[in-house]
């Protein structure tokens, strides 16, 4: 037996001197650290256990448990005791306690007889009473119904004595069957070996259903339950228990009440069959798995949603950025357009101003307004004059094509006499035709009168077509016809010139292209004329058509809508 | 003397050219080199015709035309715009502010007098 145990039990096999020294040591320790009782470090406390669930019992895994065990473990933990359980029956436990082999026996009802044999602490752990349990439909209602019955009862128990006293008081004749534990007792009743079992209400409430037993109205002997210690044990152990119980019982939220609730609540009273537990386990596992699965799925969905939202946000940001970029680019383009327009206007003005002088002065000199000219002077001045005119035409062409490309060439819609316009361009072109000895004529149908279009642009197109015809005709004629065909006005310029090869018709209206006709650079021009004419005609809601035979001549037709621009 | 023509033109060469042509054709020419002087001279001289350059310093030709048209004393005098502006809308704009005609620069010496006299005759 370890020395620690001896100290607790206070049972002596040591020398008196040593005992004295030990006491001094304990006293010093007590004074030094202020704990009320001077226990050595982790003293071992031996506790007897027996089967009386839920108060005290050994569970499936072989561990001692129950209300008393939980309470003593709680106390032991705070006191620093080391518990050692000694299993056995109720009677064995009491015997061991009497012999001092164990330090504590739980669940002992206090009786006068027991007080002689054992030591008890003062605050009761539980109050209990005894109750008879019987098979369902046994008809046992009151104490009187127990007459002549076989009653199972725990041997050496308080209830045994009490029941004997109790039954005698009612003059009952009962056969008592002493059994070592409550389990055997309930089994006997369930088998029919006994009619009723007398047990405490804790055990009955927990186990009756399992054995298909019911409680009867036979209730007797309320009792107070304690931990019991050997008679001669030192008071430290029991005092410690009292100290804890007094604190624990004051507070309804304490461990004590939690323990009671745990062991007396409905859930622990009924034990599910093993197969049901397995089913529950499987269902639980399946549920948990699916729960985990759905959790994982939810997380994934959330993650994807988050990702999508992020992408969406990024896209939106990008769109905003791009829109801003586009707006900026557009602004720049518009600014560039404005600059281009301003440049065109300025160039138009700046190029024309010097030409104004050149053309103007050579013009008046040629008109002899400045005085007489000799033949050589006139010839040279005519060259200057023609070159200046040509330069002016080039400038006008370049400005026109620039304006068209910038989308800035707009056409007017005005009412004017087409006959007058045609006659004017013929008159203007007459000198050119005369110079080359060509016959220039115009046939204007009688129905031609006023139309709605842009007079200046119509004249520009016709002048261009006429000058082209004259330019590419070496001999013969240039003829203009003007007539109404269905709802169109057709102004055709025909010549007896070099004509156009079929393969060249396609590129005829392209800007900057003058068809190489074997007489390279014989014909002046930028090659812009027809391109401008075509685009102007389109702007006027009309078009230009061409028919030609190589070496025989060409016919260019300006076709305009009768009622002006239809755009 | 066929008549009085006021020429409002800031370019000396152009002014000289126009003056030369007009004088050779028998007109008396008065010249103003800026819009403000032109308006004053128009009020003072009451010419038979005003040849108005559009590209003028400080007060441009459009403003001058509006100003001339707003003055009842001289609102009846024909105004012919002479400009090297050849962009779209120039002609319309000139007509809008009260000009009676529009001659594009560079002037064509062969047709210039015809166009000028067209407006003189209308009067």
- CA distance linking residue A198 with residue B30, whole number of Å: 147
CA distance A560 to A545: 11
Distance CA A354, CA A346 (A): 13
Which residue in B2, B9, B3 sits closest to B80, CA to CA?
A: B9
Say what percent of chain B tops pLDDT 90: 49
| Mean pLDDT (whole number) for A59-80 | 88
**Among partner residues A357, A403, A456, which is closest to B17 by beta-carbon distance?**
A357
B11 CB neighbours in chain A (<8 A) are: 353
Asked if A364 has any chain B CB less than 8 Å from its own CB, the reply is: yes
pLDDT band with cut points at 50, 70 and 90 for residue A419: very high
Q: List all residues 6 or more positions away from A75 whose beta carbon is below 8 Å from its beta carbon.
A: A81, A240, A241, A244
pLDDT above 70 coverage of chain A, percent: 87
CB A107 within 8 A of CB A146: no
| Strand stretches in A13-99, DSSP E | 44-49, 57-58, 64-65, 82-87
A345 neighbors B2 (Cβ within 8 angstroms):
no
Express each pLDDT in A150-172 by its tens digit. Answer: 999 888 877 788 888 878 888 88
pLDDT greater than 80 at residue A482:
yes
Which residues does B contribute to its contact with A (CB < 8 Å)? 11, 13-14, 17, 20-21, 24, 55, 84-89, 91-92, 105-110
Query: How many CB contacts within 8 angstroms connect chain A with chain B?
Result: 73
Q: Which domains does chain B have, with CATH numbers?
A: 4-122 (3.40.50.2300)
Residue A534 has pLDDT above 80, yes or no: yes
Per CB-CB distance under 8 Å, the chain B contacts of A403 are 87-88
Q: What is the pLDDT of residue A261?
A: 80
Helices then strands (H, E): number in chain A? 16, 18
Residue A499: per-residue pLDDT: 87
Q: Tell me, what's the pLDDT at B123?
A: 54
- Of the candidates B17, B84, B108, which has its C-beta nearest A352's C-beta? B84
Mean pLDDT for chain A overall: 83
Hey, how many other C-beta atoms are within 10 angstroms of the C-beta on A429? 23
Partners of B110 on chain A (C-beta within 8 Å) are 363, 367
Nearest to B109 among A353, A360, A392 (CB): A360
Taking alpha carbons only, the member of A226, A203, A224, A227 closest to residue A215 is A203
Nearest to B119 by CA among B96, B99, B105, B104: B99
Q: Which residue from A215, A212, A184, A179 is spatially nearest to A200, judged by alpha carbons? A: A215
Closest-CA residue to A182 (of A162, A161, A165, A157): A157
pLDDT: which is higher, A205 or B22: B22
More confident site: B80 or B106? B80
Tokens of A211: 């054995």
Categorize the per-residue pLDDT at A271 as very low, low, confident or very high, splitting at 50, 70 and 90: low
Return the H-helix or E-strand segment holding A134. Answer: strand A126-135
Site of tokens 């007079």 = A455
What mean pLDDT value characterizes chain B? 88
């Amino acid at each position: 037996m370890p020395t620690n145990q001896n100290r607790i039990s206070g049972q002596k096999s040591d020398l008196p001197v040593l005992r004295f020294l030990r006491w001094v040591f304990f006293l010093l320790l007590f004074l030094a650290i202020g704990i009320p009782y001077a226990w050595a470090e982790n003293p071992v406390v031996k506790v007897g256990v027996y089967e009386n669930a839920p108060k005290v019992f050994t569970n499936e895994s072989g561990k001692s448990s129950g209300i008393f065990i939980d309470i003593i473990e709680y106390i032991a933990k705070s006191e620093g005791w080391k518990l050692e359980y000694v299993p056995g029956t109720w009677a064995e436990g009491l015997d061991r306690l009497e012999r001092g082999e164990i330090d504590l026996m739980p669940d002992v009802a206090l009786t006068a007889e027991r007080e002689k044999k054992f030591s008890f602490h003062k605050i009761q752990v539980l109050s209990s009473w005894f109750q008879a349990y019987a098979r369902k439909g046994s008809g046992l209602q009151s104490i009187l119904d127990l007459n002549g019955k076989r009653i199972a009862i725990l041997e050496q128990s308080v209830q045994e004595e009490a029941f004997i006293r109790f039954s005698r008081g009612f003059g009952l004749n009962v056969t008592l069957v002493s059994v070592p534990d409550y389990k055997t007792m309930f089994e006997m009743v369930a088998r029919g070996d006994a009619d009723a079992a007398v047990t405490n209400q804790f055990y009955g409430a927990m186990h009756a259903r399992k054995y298909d037993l019911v409680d009867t109205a036979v209730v007797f002997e309320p009792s107070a339950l304690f931990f019991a210690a050997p008679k001669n044990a030192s008071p430290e152990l029991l005092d410690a228990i009292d100290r804890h119980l007094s604190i624990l019982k004051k507070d309804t939220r304490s461990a004590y009440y939690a323990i009671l609730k745990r062991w007396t609540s409905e859930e622990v009273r009924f034990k599910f069959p093993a197969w049901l537990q397995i089913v529950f386990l499987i269902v639980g596992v399946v549920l948990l798995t699916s729960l985990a699965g759905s959790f994982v799925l939810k997380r994934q969905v959330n993650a994807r949603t988050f990702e999508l939202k992020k992408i969406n946000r990024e896209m939106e940001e990008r769109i905003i950025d791009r829109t801003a970029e586009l707006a900026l680019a557009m602004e720049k383009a518009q600014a560039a357009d404005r600059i281009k327009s301003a440049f065109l206007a300025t160039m138009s003005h700046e190029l024309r101003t010097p030409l104004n002088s050149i053309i103007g002065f050579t013009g008046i000199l040629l008109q002899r307004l400045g005085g007489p000219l000799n033949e050589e002077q006139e010839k040279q001045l005519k060259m200057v004059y023609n070159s200046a005119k040509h330069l002016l035409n080039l400038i006008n062409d370049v400005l026109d094509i620039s304006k068209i490309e910038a989308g800035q060439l707009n056409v007017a819609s005005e009412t004017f006499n087409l006959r007058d316009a045609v006659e004017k361009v013929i008159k203007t072109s007459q000198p050119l035709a005369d110079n080359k000895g060509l016959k220039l004529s115009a046939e204007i149908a009688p129905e031609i009168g006023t139309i709605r279009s842009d007079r200046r642009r119509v004249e520009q197109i016709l002048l261009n077509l006429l000058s082209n015809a004259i330019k590419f005709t070496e001999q013969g004629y240039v003829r203009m016809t003007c007539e109404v065909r269905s709802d169109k006005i057709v102004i055709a310029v025909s010549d007896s010139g070099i004509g156009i090869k079929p393969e060249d018709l396609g590129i005829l209206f392209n800007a900057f292209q003058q068809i190489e006709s074997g007489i390279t650079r014989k014909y002046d021009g930028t090659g812009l004329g027809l391109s401008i004419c075509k685009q102007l005609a389109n702007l006027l809601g009309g078009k230009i058509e061409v028919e030609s035979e190589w070496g025989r001549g060409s016919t260019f037709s300006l076709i305009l809508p009768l009622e002006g621009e239809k755009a | 003397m066929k008549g009085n023509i006021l020429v409002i033109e800031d370019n000396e060469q152009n002014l000289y050219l126009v003056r030369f042509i007009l004088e050779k054709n028998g007109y008396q020419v008065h010249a103003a080199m800026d819009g403000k002087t032109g308006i004053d001279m128009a009020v003072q001289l009451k010419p038979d015709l005003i040849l108005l350059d559009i590209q003028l310093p400080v007060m441009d030709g459009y403003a001058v035309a509006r100003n001339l048209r707003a003055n009842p004393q001289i609102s009846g005098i024909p105004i012919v715009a002479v400009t090297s502006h050849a962009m779209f809308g120039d002609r319309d704009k000139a007509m809008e502010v009260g000009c009676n005609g529009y001659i594009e620069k560079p002037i064509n010496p062969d047709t210039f007098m015809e166009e000028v006299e067209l407006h003189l005759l209308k009067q």
